[in-house]
Structure 1
């Protein structure tokens, strides 16, 4: 049996934040959209702080979202009759498919603090059926190791399977470490992956790179390897209460046009999406 590929940090940066006009409060790009080809199958990830009214009724088409609640409460409303409230540590998946129309609102006077990841769809799934799935923090399996835990939202990780069922399979894990603790996170060697540090101070990789809170990093991977082979990402915490999210997925390698609330293959398809929305093909408002 061959030795597992060792993952290292390929590129890293710290998120820069900008104040925004009410009901938006602050925003930063964890994954900036102009680099989507580097992040494939991921397109972008935004970190937002907002009050109610910031993300009222709006449409989507052609991609998936994975929304993780860091703080505050988030109310999901969709025009198919779905409504729920997510709390810190919960996440929601949406396959926008052909015609999603929803709202994501802070609850009451809360300030919602969220991470929203846009996940690409292959061209042949852009017209798939719209769907939503909530994964509550207590429903994601947790595996303990010396000095920490790994909570698995999606994929087969650490001997357990996360409940998220996305149209394009991914892994998503939340790893918590105490000071001095080490952990080896296993991922399919062909998955493109990135990390985002929520708190603390962590060293990543066989050739260690240090990232603190608000630090993001892409990982090396073996694109032409075997999807059944695992790779190792070594991490070590330098402070207590260190927490990181790790996402991974197989690159789709298709050209995309992200524009406004839509992700399609061509600008003509973007224009068609706007026409369909204005002509009522996305259905009634989400209220």
Structure 2
């Protein structure tokens, strides 16, 4: 039986990813969210952390999900076959709805070594054939709320009295919280949102249990799965040292998932269909930079 009091979140599980040194040009990669645990992370499928040079993620297709790419360092060049082109810097985010047929390239700009986090966010079956769209959220356009001992930057969702600019088809929250050593903050999220965090820097203690997590650590949080979008939950945070954390949340979709290379569908037959459609040219021309 749930009481009328505000749901207090705790760290449910936490881990530190292992990184593979792949060599040039894909220098290093690790899974913050491993795809083999996608049911646990629903609506999130995976999150990859990559360090790469130009030539790693050239022209490639996607179908059936969304991506949220956060630039940690370097310059990320985006090219898509609808004529889109942009360069993102540290702190910028790109949202993509792959929908029916995305075809794009994500490259290190010039001779940069780029460092990114890319989150794969599922789409429900009813939205897997929607129009492909891209949205750049530049760091200066994501509202910041300052408080004693730190600040919170809101990329997506209604958090701390402001609304992030990301226009996700499946509503999520995405925030970056920075704290000075010893500072405390209570992060408020809808109680029915599944949520995870990733430590960008420092060390923080989370929840009444004060579970400590340091840089590169990731964690899932407890939530009230049968709760309401309108009821809030709280996560208590205390900075053990000067720290920065990314926190994401979203409502579980609760549908079967089939993963196949760059495609995320509900069945393996749909995955095969996506490969056939790509091979038959239904995703359009390659994504290359116009000279």
Q: Which residue number in structure 2 is paired with residue 260 of structure 1?
A: 261
Within 5 Å, give how 1:46-61 maps onto structure 2: 46-61=48-63
2: distance between equivalents of 1:73 and 1:236?
32
Deviation of residue 259 (structure 1)? 1.2
Q: Of the candidates 30, 35, 43, which is equivalent to residue 45 of structure 2?
A: 43
* 1:268-279 alignment runs, 5 A limit: 268-279=269-280
Q: Secondary structure at the match of 1:167?
A: coil
Deviation at 1:11, TM superposition (A): 0.4
CA distance in 2, matches of 1:142, 1:206: 26
Q: Which residue of 1 aligns with 2:100?
A: 98
Where does structure 1 lack aligned partners over 5 or more consecutive residues? none
Aligned to 2:195: 193
Q: Report SS of the residue matched to 1:207.
A: coil
Between the aligned partners of 1:32 and 1:231, the Cα distance in structure 2 is 26
The equivalent of 2:22 in structure 1 is 20
Distance 2:287 2:131 in 1: 17
Per-residue CA deviation, residues 124-168 of structure 1 (Å, 9 max, x unaligned), is: 100000000000000000000110000000000000000001000
**Residue in 2 that maps onto 1:245:** 246
Structure-2 residue corresponding to 1:229: 231
Aligned match of 2:159 = 157
Q: Which residue matches 2:13?
A: 11
2:287, 2:8 → 1: CA distance? Answer: 46
- The 4+ residue runs of structure 1 with deviation greater than 3 A are none
CA–CA distance in structure 1, aligned partners of residues 208 and 279 of structure 2: 52
- Aligned residue pairs, count: 286
The more displaced of 167-176 and 15-24 is 15-24
User: Pairwise CA RMSD of aligned residues?
Assistant: 0.8
Q: How does 1:100-115 map to 2 (within 5 A)?
A: 100-115=102-117
Counterpart-to-counterpart distance in 2, 1:38 and 1:11? 11
- Structure-2 residue corresponding to 1:2: 4
Taking structure 1 as the reference length, the TM-score comes to 0.99
Note the C-alpha offset of 1:16. Answer: 1.0
Question: Following superposition of structure 1 onto structure 2, how do residues 56-67 of structure 1 map, counting pairs within 5 Å?
Answer: 56-67=58-69
In the superposition, the TM-score normalised over structure 2's length comes to 0.97
